[in-house]
Structure 1
Amino acid sequence: MAREVTQEAFAAAWSDGGLVVDVREADEYAAGHVPGARLMPLRTVPARCAELPGGRPVYVICASGNRSKSAADWMTACGIDAYSVAGGTGAWARSGRPVAAGSREHAA
């Protein structure tokens, strides 16, 4: 079972340069995402787990926290130190934290 982090814990990890993986679809990502988030749609996660580092935490985010739980479970099974972000991008944006738009992945 994937571990879950609060928005506050995630915000602290993000500000320290934590690796963020957004598992929504490309159109959702383009509409607004956490700055620096890496796009990896949920359906691609099982095949792409090897792209992720094994030695540092990975914070998995989606729209509300449901898809990220599934993705974090897959990542954990692959040996990744993965955490699902409670409340997802929706809670992040509602809290007034920064949101980037566009289809390009942005540096943190």
Structure 2
Amino acid sequence: MFAFFKKLLGLPDSVSPAEAQALVKSGDAVLLDVRSAGERKAAHISGSLHIPLDELGAKASSLPKNKTIICQCASGMRSASASKQLAAAGYKTLNLSGGIGAWQGAGLPVK
């Protein structure tokens, strides 16, 4: 039933931190950090790509089309917007549920 409401509201599919880490390790996905440069400097997920949300439209073409793009921000709100934007441009996307806060809460490493 929740999936129906997600589709109705236009919400992107999401993954847990553990699922995201597994997809990245398998080579099937890349993480995209859409936070500001200052937020990223404070802490970021190793190996993630960085395009701030306000620059995504101009720089999306630099992202791989052959992999799932897992969008990530601080809490999951901006990354949901990024995921929808990229999906509309033809990318396969997922949203990291809970953002980097959930990633850290799951005990996964950040730099």
TM-score (norm 1): 0.86
Supply the AA of the counterpart residue of 1:40. I
| Structure 2 residue corresponding to 1:12, chosen from 22, 29, 35 | 22
User: Which gives a bigger RCO, structure 1 or 2 (Cα 8 Å, sep 6+)?
Assistant: 1
Flag the structure with larger Rg.
2
Per-residue Cα deviation, 1:50-105 (whole angstroms, up to 9, x for no partner): 111212111110001000000000000110111110010011112211101xxxxx
Extract unaligned runs of 5+ from structure 2: 1-9
**What's the offset of the Cα at 1:14?**
2.5
Provide the identity percentage: 34
TM-score (norm 2): 0.84
1:88 maps to which residue? 99
| Structure 2 residue corresponding to 1:59, chosen from 50, 70, 73 | 70
Q: Give secondary structure in 2 for the equivalent of 1:55.
A: coil
**What's the offset of the Cα at 1:16?**
2.3
More helix by share: 2
Extract unaligned runs of 5+ from structure 1: 101-108
Q: How many residues align?
A: 100
Distance 1:14 1:92 in 2: 13
**What's the offset of the Cα at 1:8?**
2.2
| Structure 1 residue corresponding to 2:43, chosen from 32, 36, 40 | 32
Residue correspondence of structure 1 range 42-53 to structure 2 within 5 A: 42-53=53-64
Runs of 4+ in structure 1 displaced over 2 angstroms? 14-18
TM-align CA RMSD: 1.1
Supply the AA of the counterpart residue of 2:78. R
